[in-house]
Amino acid sequence: MARAATTTDAFNAVAEPRRRQILDLLRARERPVNELVELLGLAQPQVSKHLRVLREVDLVHVRDEGRHRMYRLNPGPLQPIHDWLGAYEQLWNERFDLMDDVLDDLGKAETDDDGDD
Amino acid sequence: MTATTKGSATVTLPADNQILITREFNAPARLVWKAYTTPELIRRWWAGQRGTVTSVEVDLRVGGRWRYVMTANPGFEVAFHGEYREIQEPVRLVNTEAFEGIPDPDGNAALVTMTLTEKDGRTAMEMLVEHRDQEGRDAHVNSGMEGGMQEAMDALEELAASLA
């Protein structure tokens, strides 16, 4: 690791597509690391590194079961992201819905002007 | 039937410094472009349901500047400004976007690439907002937001603090 890890929160952690894939896989059920390696088609050290990041931001919990370490999703920290995106999306929906009205008017004006070209 | 497009915007985070906003419009690209770049039309949509647009300045040339101001509910003013970098009417507009509510707005400006793709009289819009870093992105999304947004950010701050 030449670069310092910059992942400090859940936002950052889920910005990486592979980590989102891991979360998707864990959404179904808890899994041991070898299963994730197989499903992702990545080398084990890579998967372990992603899991470590996800654990650091509390998106993944781990427990020992015999000789296996079982990883499971902890969705709590995703809630603020969900809310954050939802609010931003709502603003753009308000804007675009109003833009629809503007476009309606522009379209009507064009139709009215058709005879003038 | 514009009703079919209502509420259909999507926002995704392709990378930790990016926000991608997509929407389809039931109108040709030239009209979407017009609605997006004409001051008196911008006034009608840019504030959403959150307030009133009080000022729109658009100097639509490469190197030209723009500035939008809106007043949100409790007399709270929100202003953005920037510079046009690339203009290809009616398919592509690239501009910087600085939020005046943070320290060093221009130093923290985002680059916005808006593309329009017309097909069968309908137009798909993609707006890619690229920030210098994740903090810039988060500050941006937090700008001009009230209520639920603020709560979400508070929750996020608590989360971040709990991870520190």
Q: Give the one of A91, A97, A107 whose C-beta lies nearest to B6's C-beta.
A: A97
Per-residue pLDDT band at A1 (split at 50, 70, 90): very low
Q: Which two three-digit tokens encode residue B94?
A: 């690239």
Q: Give the one of A10, A91, A101 whose C-beta lies nearest to B145's C-beta.
A: A91
- Residue A76: partners with Cβ closer than 8 Å, 6 or more residues away: A58
Tell me which of A5 and A89 has the higher pLDDT. A89
d(CA A107, CA B26): 10
% of chain B at pLDDT higher than 70: 80
Kindly list the residues from chain B whose CB atom is less than 8 angstroms away from the CB atom of residue A94. 48-50
Tell me which of B151 and A104 has the higher pLDDT. A104
Average pLDDT across chain B, whole number: 84
Least confident window among A99-103, B5-9, B150-154: B150-154
Token pair 């509420």 is found at: B7
pLDDT in tens, A72-82: 999 888 877 77
Kindly list the residues from chain B whose CB atom is less than 8 angstroms away from the CB atom of residue A92. 9, 11, 21, 23, 48
Instruction: Inspect the interface and report whether the beta carbons of B148 and A9 lie closer than 8 Å.
Output: no
To the question of pTM greater than 0.75 for the whole model, the response is no
% of chain A at pLDDT higher than 90: 56
Q: Give the one of B7, B27, B148 whose C-beta lies nearest to A103's C-beta.
A: B27
Instruction: Inspect the interface and report whether the beta carbons of B41 and A102 lie closer than 8 Å.
Output: yes
Smallest CA–CA distance, residue B139 to chain A, in Å, is: 11
Q: Which two three-digit tokens encode residue A86?
A: 């939802």
pLDDT of B157 reads 53
Q: Which two three-digit tokens encode residue A111?
A: 């139709």
> What secondary structure, in 3-state letters, does chain B show?
CHHHHCCCCEEECCCCCEEEEEEEECCCHHHHHHHHHCHHHHHHHCCCCCEEEEEEEECCCCCCEEEEEEEECCCEEEEEEEEEEEEECCCEEEEEEEECCCCCCCCCCEEEEEEEEEECCEEEEEEEEECCCHHHHHHHHHCCCCCHHHHHHHHHHHHHHHHC
Instruction: Inspect the interface and report whether the beta carbons of A84 and B149 lie closer than 8 Å.
Output: yes
Q: Give the one of A6, A92, A99 whose C-beta lies nearest to B21's C-beta.
A: A92
A43 touches chain B (CB under 8 A): no
Tell me which of A35 and A112 has the higher pLDDT. A35
pLDDT of A42 reads 95
The stretch A112-117 carries a mean pLDDT of: 67
